[in-house]
Amino acid sequence: MWINMGPQHPMTHGLWNLRVRVEGEVIRDVEPEMGFLHRGIEKISENRHYNEVITLMDRCCYVAGMSWEQLFIQASEQALKVTPPARAEYLRVLSAELQRIASHLMWYAAFVQDLGLMTPFLYGMRDRDLVLDLFQSYTGARMTYEYMRVGGVRNDAPHGFTDQCRKVLDWLLARFVEYDQLCLGSTIFRKRCDDLGVLKAPEAVAYGVTGPMLRSAGVRRDLRKDRPYSVYDQVEFDVPVTDTADVTGRYLVRMEEMRQSVRICRQCLDWLDRNPGPVLADHLPRWLGAPYAPVGREAYLLKRNYPTGLGFSMVEEPHGEAGAYVVNDGGEHPYRVKFRSPVLINIWAAKRYLPGYRIADIPPIMGSVDVCVGECDR
Amino acid sequence: MRGVELSAALAARFGDKFLGLDPFPGLVGRVRFDPSVARALFEYLRDEQGFVHLTMVGGIDWVDHREVFYTLWSDRDRTYLQLSADLPADHPTIASAVPVWPGANAHEREAWDLVGIRFEGHPDLRRIFMPEGYEFHPLLRSFPIHEPEELEVKARSD
């Protein structure tokens, strides 16, 4: 018998449909259905100025907007042959790591609520708000930032930001201990998570699974270490792995990742305190620095000087490895933009890690995947 | 250095079906190949060159022809490689990578849905984002972006 779990289901956290074939209580086959949130971001990007695509990136993944901005900006800078100043790179890494904390807290809150634990949900949302407050203080927005630009970032952090940020990080580190006590110390949590949704390393690699799901299977792969982009080679951090490959393993990996993100943030803050400077490249072509997209005769005249090129960027986004491929054919708009969504592939592997378990196990297992349908459907 | 080695190995193995390796900053390079050897190339790269992970598959509509590209990751070398093949616009077909990397399933369905590239041997080549029965492949240049009111979305077949 086939059952539709979705598109409206408490387990899905967004619009997608998990078709499940069951025999009694036991899952035999699954068929994820996507596309309920498809907005055609790749197509819209083809008709927009590079800096105008940043707006779409925030909406692409609304819980990890900064990571997707960084992804697209890095690929565009390679395609357009622009180099950002060092201070902008540190602000980007700081933003991306704060975003990782915010995203993991959002996951934590939603995940434990699926298990029926209400207190951790409230704690997670409360602490995520502190990170969003930080974002608001230097970008003006809580979720859709439009902060990064081709050639740097829009503005520097305000006076007193670094001290405020350190306070929040100290607060968060103390809260992470509470989270672990609430979850790992709870028998209900352990019984619903241990040895569930097991996806061992060889299958995870074959299915293209990335991010915390892959690291929980014992594969120490993190693009920030393996292929350092931006200034990740300048900061110290560890890549947490577990070898249980189950739901608890993914929980442990994400919790430790947040601690490592705090470590990275502190190093970035120290660097930002010591090194004032510009945050936007000053040699930008006029059409990139302009607040508007040149049109008509002006665009025609400028077009003769447009560079051409290909841009490829991969970032370790909170959900996994996100990729962007930008084809610049010399126009003011990208000719083609292709994004790789880690969530789409992680959900797809459900064909591998769901069969054999019971229907009641689906919420914890799919919760541990950290689904963001915005980036999955794009 | 890796690019030079790989280029020589591919030339020895695939002869004139291997069309060259272009430099690509930050990657090993960009391998251009003839689509007729796709399946053999995938297996060779996975088994003998260590590219175990398929990162993305996509297509580009260049109006007079279509390009299909693959990005691969090697755990051994900690690096990416891009593959690219040109397909004729009236018959954009290439062998599926699903038997080699099972994770290609969703990527190829997406490329079929959005760019209209057919993957032969794919177990379940249906649309993934757009509804079944939709008459356009939206990322083609011929997609009528200025007349959205004229588009009529047909119901899913099931």
Q: Where are the domains of chain B?
A: 2-150
Residue B18 pLDDT: 82
Q: Residue A253 — pLDDT band, cuts 50, 70, 90? A: very high
Residue A133's pLDDT band, with cuts at 50, 70 and 90, is: very high
Q: Which residues make Cβ contacts (< 8 Å) with residue B72, sequence separation at least 6?
A: B45, B51, B53, B54, B55, B80, B81, B82, B83
A336 touches chain B (CB under 8 A): yes
Residue A102 is encoded by which pair of tokens? 């915010």
* Neighbour-count burial of A137, counting CB atoms closer than 10 A to its CB (0-12 exposed, 13-18 middle, 19+ buried): middle
Q: Which residues in B lie closer than 8 A to residue A208 (C-beta atoms)?
A: 53-55, 101, 103-104, 107
Report d(CA A136, CA A154) in Å as an integer. 14
Whether the Cβ atoms of residue A186 and residue A117 lie closer than 8 Å to each other = yes
Contacts of B55 in chain A (CB under 8 A): 208, 314, 321, 323, 340
* pLDDT at residue A320 greater than cutoff 80: yes
**Strands, sheet with A17-23, edge to edge from the N-terminal-most edge strand:** A2-5, A17-23, A26-33
Contact A38 B130 (CB under 8 A): yes
Residue A196 confidence class, pLDDT cut points 50, 70, 90: confident
pLDDT at A259 (0 to 100): 92
Does A183 touch chain B if contact means CB atoms closer than 8 Å?
A: no
Q: How many CA atoms lie within 13 A of A126 on its CB side?
A: 11
Nearest CA in chain B to A309: B24
Q: Does B58 touch chain A (CB under 8 A)?
A: yes
Cα end-to-end distance, chain B, whole Å = 53
Instruction: Give B105 to chain A, closest Cα distance, Å.
Output: 8
- Which residues lie closer than 8 Å to A271 by C-beta, 6 or more apart? A90, A234
Q: What angle do CA A362, A57, A310 make, to 5 degrees?
A: 115
| Model pLDDT for residues A67-86, shown as the tens digit of each residue | 999 998 888 888 777 888 89
CATH of domain A41-353: 1.10.645.10
DSSP B40-77: HHHHHHHHHS---EEEEEEEEE-SSEEEEEEEEEETTT
**pLDDT score of A285:** 65
Q: For position A287, what pLDDT does the model report?
A: 60
Looking at chain A, the whole-number percentage of residues with pLDDT higher than 70 is: 93
Kindly determine whether residue B101 and residue A42, on different chains, have CB atoms separated by under 8 Å: no
Which among A42, A78, A336 is the top mutation candidate for probing chain B, defined by the most B β-carbons within 10 Å of its own β-carbon?
A336
Average pLDDT of chain A is 85
- Cα A168 from Cα A173, distance rounded (Å): 9
Place of tokens 């990751």: B73
CATH superfamily of B2-150: NADH:ubiquinone oxidoreductase Nqo5 subunit (3.30.460.80)
Helix (H, G, I), strand (E, B) or coil at A354: coil
Cβ of residue A47 closer than 8 Å to a chain B Cβ: yes
Contact A209 B103 (CB under 8 A): yes
Mean pLDDT for the stretch of residues B7-29: 81
**Lowest-pLDDT choice from A46-55, A125-134, A292-301, B143-152:** A292-301
- Distances in Å between the Cα of A253 and the Cα atoms of A241, A359, B78 are 6, 25, 21
Integer-rounded Cα radius of gyration of chain B: 17
Q: Does the beta-carbon distance from B71 to A205 stay under 8 Å?
A: no
pLDDT at B48: 83
Q: Return contacts of A222-230, CB within 8 angstroms, 24+ apart.
A: A222/A316, A223/A314, A223/A315, A223/A316, A223/A321, A224/A316, A226/B78, A227/A314, A227/B78, A227/B79, A227/B80, A229/A74, A229/A313, A229/A314, A229/A315, A230/A70, A230/A74, A230/A89, A230/A92, A230/A93, A230/A96
Average pLDDT over residues A233-253: 89
Containing A5, the helix (H) or strand (E) segment is: strand A2-5
Quote the pLDDT of residue A183.
86
pLDDT band at B154 (very low <50, low <70, confident <90, very high): low
Do residues A107 and A370 lie in contact, with contact meaning Cβ atoms separated by under 8 Å?
Answer: yes
Query: Who contacts B56 (Cβ-Cβ below 8 Å, separation ≥6)?
Result: A323, A325, A338, A340, B70, B71, B107
pLDDT at A303 over 70: no
Amino acid letter, residue A334: P
B140–chain A Cβ distance below 8 A for any pair: no
- Rounded CA Rg of chain A: 21
Alpha helices in B1-158 (DSSP H): 2-14, 38-48, 104-115
Distance CA B123, CA B106 (A): 11
